[in-house]
Amino acid sequence: MKNTQHLEHFKSLASQSYDNNSIIKNYLSDIETAILIREVENSFLNLFNQGDMNGTVHTCVGQEFTGVAISRALDKNDWVTSNHRCHGHFISKTMKWEALIDELRGFKSGVCKGIGSSQHLFAEGFLSNGPQAALVPVGCGIAKHLKDNYSNNVCVSFLGEGTLGEGLVYESMNLASIFSLPHIFVLENNLYSQSTEQFRALSGSIELRAKAFDLEFYSTNTWDLDHLFKTCQEAIEYSKHKQKPCFIDIKTYRLNAHSKSDDDRDKKEIEFFKEYDSLNILKKTNLLNKNFENIKTKVARYINNSQPSYLQKDEYFHDQLPRKISAKSKDVHNPDLRLINVLNDAYKNEIENGSYFIGEDILDPYGGAFKVSKGLSELYPKKVIGTPISEAAITGLGIGLSMMGNKSFVEIMFGDFLSYSFDQILSNASKFYHMYAFQCSAPVRIRTPMGGKRGYGPTHSQSLEKFFAGIDNVAMFAVTSLIDPSKMMKDLRTLDCPAIILENKVDYGKKLFQENDFLSIQQIGGSYGPIILKPKEMDPNLTVITYGGTAREVVDGFVEIFQETGFIIQVACLTCINPYNLNPILRLFNKTRNLAIIEDGSTSFGLGSELISEIIAYYNDINFIKIGAMPYPIPSIRSLEDNSLPTIEYIIENLNKLKSESI
């Protein structure tokens, strides 16, 4: 269907006549909410023109009744996720219009203390975010929580038809259908994706998209208000009663520019829809003159009488990461068990304490690609969730569950595929706490097997931790067979930030380290602190900082390293990569000024560079070397793979370079 056909269809819907007296009688309070939304939106444009607002704004003038009709059928325990054009949805669901105005003016009295502004809003039962489709899978997580804890509630996710270009929408629709979630997808279909006409951005049928995922489909528009309200009521009652997802296509028209003034649409077209706009028609009847004037006066009075107060930097600049650790050291005594068995027991314990365990192919009898989840689904069928191949959506699912108060572990089968989850981690999990003014957290745990040395080749052997370790307000932990991870997993329950947990593929099968004749082992600062291994009867002349499975390989290679290089090593194994605490490690340089930092990925812009830059601020006479993977895709052939990754032979070769440079 070309845009002229779309446009003519919309015009035919808009130009039909309706019984306005009956509409006013049956929906007066809803009409007043729509008037309120329009007055608030117009006030934003005026304030921007006067220079009294910062950033940008996307008004919903012309589309007010979508949020009003949906919220009319919701109760306080239902949730709404929204997008960049969220003000109408927010006011309809919460009625906190004063706090919305203050938010966009940057006031501390704003719904998010002026932090989120126009696109990033939060109140109990509502959240919005700017990136297209970002919150749709989060809505799946919210709906899952509602289904498991309430008997009759839903989550509504608003999206525009331009968002149908995002694959995340279809991943989420698939999840909602497979898990029979009370999740309602509401499409505000206004003919344009910002400035792009619908026929240029959308192919095929919207209805068939929904039906392909077995979603009950409803269609209505914002010109026939009686049909709109009844259709939204019917759809929401369906989802509440059936506890199943559905899809509502609401045809509407945006009368204002996409943002403040960026509008290239035909002016005659815009004037046509202004003439047939439901609120404009109701205004022309003169039956609601007093209602319009009273609401306009109320909004203007509030704006004129508001007193500005702004959030101070000491109130905002803090995070949730475990930055402080004690100086106490503790001897390490590990059980004589393999790491994979200990991890299985640790996750079992977390599920017993209420956590969800989510991932692809984790259900029994398969039990996951590396068998970490073996037996868990048989024991906890309601808490262990096997999913389709949808890394981004299942990460969003975990985020939604976690923000509702559930701890959730999301398994990404291979660390290489964590890239699919990147936007969910960056745009949602890492930002919720701050951009929603500390009203909400997303303590999701994303765990994944990372690293090579298994011959899996270029897309299944990468170590991508450097791309994620720098994400603000996201902790990163590295499991290692040097220590039983059970205590760390237990302590993570009290940590309220999102966390990525790295597990090394090669390390899974190793038995936990047992103290030997050469090395003593301690952990400093509790379960997030570094593990320190020191030679028992010799003075070290090299400090090695590393983590995960590579740390175990270095420790196991203690004698070989000495024989091949002459270095007597002491090892600092990081269990927490972000944030790391250098204080316990700096003391090690009282014994030696030689340093090797070994990371599993390539070293450019990596962890080693970060650590060295801080260490040399204290000890500028350090001889150091960064050791990591070669900066090329990792080959499958064993001989080349061994030359690409920090195997013990590769490490020895590089340590000899350090030795020759330090002589």
SS3 448: strand
CA–CA–CA angle 337, 338, 339 (5° rounding)? 115
- Residue with the two structure tokens 């003391």: 587
What are the tens digits of pLDDT across the range 438-495? 999 999 999 999 999 999 999 999 999 999 999 999 999 999 999 999 999 999 999 9
Residue 424 phi/psi, 5-degree rounding, is -65, -40
DSSP state letters, 230-251: HHHHHHHHHHHHHT--EEEEEE
Query: Cβ–Cβ contacts within 10 Å for residue 204, how many?
Result: 10
pLDDT given for residue 191 in this prediction? 80
What are the tens digits of pLDDT across the range 140-156? 999 999 999 987 999 99
What are the tens digits of pLDDT across the range 26-76? 999 999 999 999 999 999 999 988 888 888 899 999 999 999 999 999 999
What are the tens digits of pLDDT across the range 367-426? 999 999 999 999 999 999 999 999 999 999 999 999 999 999 999 999 999 999 999 999
239: amino acid identity, one letter: S
Residues 579, 584: Cα–Cα separation, whole Å: 14
Nearest alpha carbon to residue 628 among 610, 649, 652, 651? 651
| Residue 133 DSSP symbol | T
Contact 285, 20 (CB under 8 A): yes
Q: Find the helix or strand (DSSP H, E) in which 94 lies.
A: helix 87-94
Q: How many residues does the chain have?
A: 663
pLDDT given for residue 5 in this prediction? 84
Residue 196 phi/psi, 5-degree rounding, is -85, 125
- Residue with the two structure tokens 């966390």: 499
Domains and their CATH numbers in the chain: 3-306 (3.40.50.970), 331-509 (3.40.50.970), 523-662 (3.40.50.920)
Whole-Å CA distances, 277 to 15, 350, 662 = 9, 54, 78
Q: Is 566 left (phi over 0), alpha (psi -120 to 50) or beta?
A: left
How many percent of the chain have pLDDT more than 90?
A: 90
Rounded (10°) angle between helices 87-94 and 97-104 = 140
CA–CA–CA angle 375, 380, 385 (5° rounding)? 90
pLDDT band for 2, please (50, 70, 90 cuts).
low
Query: Cβ–Cβ contacts within 10 Å for residue 350, how many?
Result: 22
What are the tens digits of pLDDT across the range 622-662? 999 999 999 999 999 999 999 999 999 999 999 999 987 76
Residues 116, 114: Cα–Cα separation, whole Å: 6
Q: Per-residue pLDDT for 164 more than 90? A: yes
Nearest alpha carbon to residue 68 among 173, 188, 161, 169? 188
Q: Read off the pTM.
A: 0.96
Q: Are strands 192-193 and 196-197 parallel, antiparallel or unpaired?
A: antiparallel
Joined tokens for residue 619: 């000890």
| Residue 634 DSSP symbol | P
